Structure 1
Amino acid sequence: MPSRTSLRSLPLFACLVSFLACLTAHAENWPDWRGPNNAGISSEKNLPTTWSKDNNVAWRVELPGAAGATPVIWGDHIFLTSVDGEELVLICLDTSGKQLWKKAVGEGNKVVRGDEGNSASPSPVTDGKHVWCFFTTGDLACFDFDGKEIWKTNVQDRFGKFDIQFGLTSTPVLYDGKLYLQLIHSGGAKVIALNADTGAEAWQVKRESDAYAECEHSYASPMVYDDGKLRFLLTHGADYSIAYDLDNGKELWRVGGLHPPAGYDQTLRFVASPLAAPGLIVVPSAKRGILVAVKPDSKGNITDKAENYLWKFDTTPDVPSPLAVGDYVYLCRENGNLICLERKTGKQLYEERTHRDRHRASPVYGDDKIYLTSRDGQVTVVKPGPNFEILAENKLDEEISASPAISGGRIYLRTFQALWAIGPQ
């Protein structure tokens, strides 16, 4: 029979269990590389501001190989793609850092430009029941949460060989039972919709463009726009952003004119993905190119139609994707400079220097903080708003090109060596 002391402890213990269960139940999922709604925004609170290799780290787990793919999180499951020797693998961990399973999906890793990427650059995507993973080899697979293979295919075998200099790194986007891929390269650009449950083709369309040479290559990822009334697939590359009907692939609108006016640069391939926020599409370009904000309800070719533009800006982030928070749009340049624009007008409020190193990861927002991740492993935490303020500078001293993921009060950072869980134990 339990003692009186233990009986008195039962209500407290029950409250503690209930509290912890509530925390778990309300942990926001991060289902794809840009998080909920493809926006790079988390609604979670009490996220860490400061950390180091030895401070405010829940755990660190060594990975079998380097990659730039962002982890995705659903409940207590974490998924990420990696290389393991020549194998291309999907790894599942739980939120304690324990590996639950690892599945080989393909083989034949290719390292790009020494330290810029490899065949595990695309990120997984999940809906809470299944997880889908894609590799630059064209290997595409679906697994359940127990690691059982549901289906597997090779996109190159089905839709044509890739012809792209640094590998097709685009991450598929999942929406309403379909998996959408943009295959934009010199071998024949296509947009594909697959049945997510079976891998069967729902539709495919040829993606028309007048781009040539390296401009035919795209390293960006598609996005879905959905404001509750209007919804479409947004693809990006080969000199255009093009919107398609999600159900049948019909082209709705396109915007071009993204190259510098001085002349056509045949090396300007798109890397940064567009931002699809309610009432706003922010379209980046490449390097010396421009950035435009256009109206989501546009129709036809709007390249020369001023009435379809919200504003234009003369500088683009070359690799990190744009971020919109409240009344402001943020652009993180490759050199670490952060630009803040008014969302409605595009007026520049500031351009300020952060950490001077390559920035390949896209900025994310949570708990009234913007996180900028540099290639050498430093994360600069910036206060959002019209006035620039650095809140913290955190160093891990491990190379990072993956964007952060946020879930359960933690920030997950995938370095070339390991997966770090930053935050409470």
Structure 2
Amino acid sequence: MTRLITATAVTILVAGAHGAEWPHWRGPEMNGVAPADAAAPTTWSESENILWRQPLPGPAGSTPVVAGGRIFLTTPDGAELLLMALDAQSGEPLWRRTVTTGDAHFRGDEGNLASASPTTDGRHVVAVMGDGMMACYTVDGEPVWRLQLGDRLTPLDIQFGYASSPVLHGGKVLVQWQHGDGDPSTEEARVAAFDLSTGETLWDVPRDTDAMKECEHSYASPIVAGHGDDAVLVTHGADTTIAYDPHNGQELWRVGNVNPPGNYHPTLRFVASPAANDGLVVAPTAKKGPVTAVTLGGRGDLAGGEHQAWRIDRGTPDVPSPLVADGLVYLLGEDGALTCLDAATGERLYDRRTENDRHRASPLLVGERLYLASRGGVVTVVRAGRRFEVLAKNDLGEAISASPVVVDGVLYLRTFDALYAIADR
């Protein structure tokens, strides 16, 4: 497709309802499920409903977040690692701040040091880069605080750069800091909370597992599962999913036994993050390994206990994170195979190929439609439900590894070259 649309050509209102937000890389509930009243187009083209295309200074796999009519994203620009703000109505850049500098092409496009997504509460926006530098700004771009996680916690030792997105919850910035030298006797991994207003460390606890070698390194992101007093911070990596009390860092439960010592896989590093909905947490692993589902409310080691809803021994997505909604679990394989499971039992309902290409982005659910973005730029729209049906395929012709975002009827797609806004208006 030709690409003649510019941000300045758009006069239609985009994300006009400032109450509509996408504050985390997987949305308001951190699980890829859009609010019930959300809508998004099924098909798009330059001549019909692509509202604008804003070129970006560099490629990245980080996902934009949206609040208050602004879009925030991390991106490299040469050696600069930036947090940028764009106007959601026009796509025009509002401000850019250099969080840190470094080898922006550390591992090429999607694996560079701007891989973690920012997060916002509508007043602040927090970004962390692959060297562990984390910074907080107001939504107007004014600096609030800046800190190096490697200095506050433990010196960073990770093969492909830090890529876990931070989480905002209850006035705290929550992070999982999972890395290490491969020796399980040294305690490099931490989980920590920082005051959103000041950057002060509120709590900092070790994250103990028996993981060794490269399995100590996690590129997954934590999530908050549940609501109110029942909310837990779910961290993921080092052969184990562990939940903490976000108020004080107390460990509440864990699920391990996915990389047994007798047949230990030394590179079972986690990239896909857990997903939670309706009281169920679904934890993937890697290398087509197991997926475990547990119900919230348990304590201690949940593996094999009453709070383990089910486990499948093979078939995990390696990079895209799971999606749980309406009694179903969707697993998008890196090869584009979409698996649908019954959320209560783990029964496999179907396993069908979508686009025959690598898939790095996590799925998005809007109403009854699943949006699956391939690395080559094809977005497949699948009807949600127990029966597989492809509704449309849309080819942007630009590489994608960032997850799709929807706010106020506008679908945002971040490619390696640009950010697109698409809506039926």
TM-score by length of 1: 0.92
Say whether residues 1:69 and 2:62 are aligned partners.
yes
**Structure with the bigger percentage of helix:** 1
For residues 233 and 56 of structure 1, what CA distance do their matches in structure 2 show?
38
Question: Post-superposition shift, 1:302?
Answer: 2.4
Match of 1:218 in 2: 218
For residues 259 and 275 of structure 2, what CA distance do their matches in structure 1 show?
18
Contact 1:191 1:207 in 2 (8 A): yes
- 1:250/1:45 Cα in 2 relative to 1: closer, same or farther (>3 Å)? closer
Match of 1:121 in 2: 115
Letter in 2 for 1:402: A
Question: Post-superposition shift, 1:276?
Answer: 2.0
Contact 2:40 2:424 in 1 (8 A): no
Say whether residues 1:29 and 2:21 are aligned partners.
yes
Contact 1:51 1:395 in 2 (8 A): no
Match of 1:3 in 2: none
Give me the identity figure in percent: 51
Question: Post-superposition shift, 1:164?
Answer: 0.8
- After superposition, residues 240-259 of structure 1 pair within 5 angstroms as 240-259=240-259
Contact 2:38 2:408 in 1 (8 A): no
Question: Post-superposition shift, 1:115?
Answer: 4.1
Letter in 1 for 2:194: L
Match of 1:176 in 2: 170
Q: Cα deviations across residues 195-214 of structure 1 (Å, max 9, x unaligned)? A: 01110000000110111000
How many equivalent pairs are there? 405
For residues 372 and 80 of structure 1, what CA distance do their matches in structure 2 show?
20
For residues 226 and 286 of structure 1, what CA distance do their matches in structure 2 show?
25
- 1:411/1:182 Cα in 2 relative to 1: closer, same or farther (>3 Å)? same
Match of 1:82 in 2: 75
Contact 1:53 1:395 in 2 (8 A): no
Match of 1:290 in 2: 290
Match of 1:15 in 2: none
Q: Cα deviations across residues 64-102 of structure 1 (Å, max 9, x unaligned)? A: 111111000013111001111100111111111111111
Say whether residues 1:147 and 2:147 are aligned partners.
no
Question: Post-superposition shift, 1:261?
Answer: 8.7
In structure 2, runs of 5+ residues without a counterpart are 1-12, 182-187
Match of 2:6 in 1: none
Contact 1:244 1:253 in 2 (8 A): yes
Please state whether the residue corresponding to 1:157 is helix, strand or coil. helix
Question: Post-superposition shift, 1:329?
Answer: 0.7
Match of 2:31 in 1: 39
Match of 1:8 in 2: none
Question: Post-superposition shift, 1:295?
Answer: 1.8
Question: Post-superposition shift, 1:404?
Answer: 0.8
In structure 1, runs of 5+ residues without a counterpart are 1-19
Contact 1:81 1:89 in 2 (8 A): yes
For residues 261 and 393 of structure 1, what CA distance do their matches in structure 2 show?
43
Letter in 1 for 2:121: D
For residues 374 and 305 of structure 2, what CA distance do their matches in structure 1 show?
36
Contact 1:335 1:358 in 2 (8 A): yes
Instruction: State which of 118, 122, 127 in structure 2 corresponds to 1:133.
Output: 127
Question: Post-superposition shift, 1:298?
Answer: 1.4
Match of 2:97 in 1: 103
Letter in 1 for 2:69: D
Q: Which moved more, 1:40-49 or 1:171-180?
A: 40-49
Report which of the two structures shows the higher radius of gyration computed on alpha carbons: 1
- 1:210/1:386 Cα in 2 relative to 1: closer, same or farther (>3 Å)? same
- After superposition, residues 268-283 of structure 1 pair within 5 angstroms as 268-283=268-283
Match of 1:375 in 2: 375
TM-score by length of 2: 0.92
- After superposition, residues 321-360 of structure 1 pair within 5 angstroms as 321-360=321-360
Letter in 1 for 2:124: H
Contact 1:227 1:278 in 2 (8 A): no
Contact 1:361 1:373 in 2 (8 A): yes
How large is the RMSD of aligned CA atoms in angstroms? 1.8
For residues 355 and 95 of structure 2, what CA distance do their matches in structure 1 show?
37
Match of 1:9 in 2: none
Match of 1:236 in 2: 236
Instruction: State which of 87, 92, 106 in structure 2 corresponds to 1:94.
Output: 87
Letter in 1 for 2:45: S
Please state whether the residue corresponding to 2:91 is helix, strand or coil. coil
Match of 2:4 in 1: none
